Structure 1
């Protein structure tokens, strides 16, 4: 699973969608009250955002085609119009993201396919590999920053108390599950912080090899600044 980079197959699918053709296909779907005209455009391969809007449009067209009463047909047609507009907008957004990634990729790239370890202890760590260069004509430089975080799960007071005391094995499983959830959160925060650093013009030579992640001083685990290795400690939001 990728977090901040589009997969190569998604990049190809997004590039292959012609917006003019898509708009015409959406209009034809409305006129013919069926989704056939948008099939074959590769929309289902453009990632989850486009996929979600595609499904919503297909559902809206299906509701419109089934409607009989005049009032319901008017309402469902408007719903289908909005869903079609949302689908086109989603493709536009993904094309914009693709172009941003292409331009940024000339200066830096952050590897976001990071597998969790087989076993997690209290000390969580996420190694993030990256490459960067000062200009598109310069040679690539490579580095890695490992984010480390001592995780102490906090008890939840919103959940009802169990009717019976959990076994030691269940407690261990729950602890392991909470560590994996926090590790995934740490990975997402680390990747986004690393991308923000380079987007803001950060120098890869200034990236440390290890960074001790700062949890919120007010409890609740990680916050928006926890993985910002280039900043002095800041208060939690």
Structure 2
């Protein structure tokens, strides 16, 4: 699973779709009341964001084609128009994201392919590798930053108490699950913070090798600032 980088196959698919051809196909689908004209554009390969809008458009066209009464046809046609616009907008957004990634990729790249360890302890860690350079003509420099976090799961008072006392194995299994969920959150926050740092013009030479993550002072674990290694610790209110 990727967090901040589009997979290469999605990049290729997004690049291959011509926006003008998509607009023409959407209009043709509406005129012919069938989804056929949009097949062959490769939209389902453009990632889940576009694929979800494609599915919505397909459903809207199907409802429109089945409608018989005048009022229902008018309503379902409008629904299909909106769904078509959503699909076109989704492609535009992904093309914009791809352009941003390619432009940023001339100066920095953060590897988001990070696998979880086989076993997790209280001390969670995520090591993020990256490369950067000061200009597209400069040589690449490489580095990595390990985010470490001592995780203390908080009891969930919303859930009802179990009727039976859980076994030691179940307690350990639940704890392991909570650690993996928190590790995934740590990975996401680490990657987003690293990207924000470089987007704001951060110097890779200033990145430390290890950073002790700061959990929220209000409890609840990580927040949006926990992994911002370049910011001074925020004082408690």
Task: Answer whether TM exceeds 0.5 for this pair.
Answer: yes
CA distance in 2, matches of 1:3, 1:166: 35
1:54-133 → structure 2 map (5 Å cutoff): 54-133=54-133
CA contact (8 A) 1:215 1:222 kept: yes
How many Å apart are 1:161 and its aligned residue? 1.0
Q: Deviations over 1:38-61 (max 9, x none)?
A: 111000000110011001101111
How many Å apart are 1:235 and its aligned residue? 6.0
CA distance in 2, matches of 1:127, 1:106: 22
Q: Deviations over 1:122-157 (max 9, x none)?
A: 000000000000000000000000000000000001
Query: What does residue 170 of structure 1 align with?
Result: 170
CA distance in 1, matches of 2:56, 2:162: 39
User: TM-score normalised to the size of structure 1?
Assistant: 0.99
Tell me how large the CA RMSD over aligned residues is. 1.1
CA distance in 2, matches of 1:164, 1:200: 52
Query: What does residue 9 of structure 1 align with?
Result: 9
For structure 2, the residue ranges without an aligned partner over 5 or more in a row are none
Query: What does residue 143 of structure 1 align with?
Result: 143
Tell me, what secondary structure is at the counterpart of 2:219? coil
CA contact (8 A) 1:225 1:234 kept: no
Query: What does residue 49 of structure 1 align with?
Result: 49
Shift in alpha-carbon separation, 1:39–1:235, aligned structure 2, 3 A: farther
CA distance in 2, matches of 1:37, 1:185: 41
Number of equivalences: 237
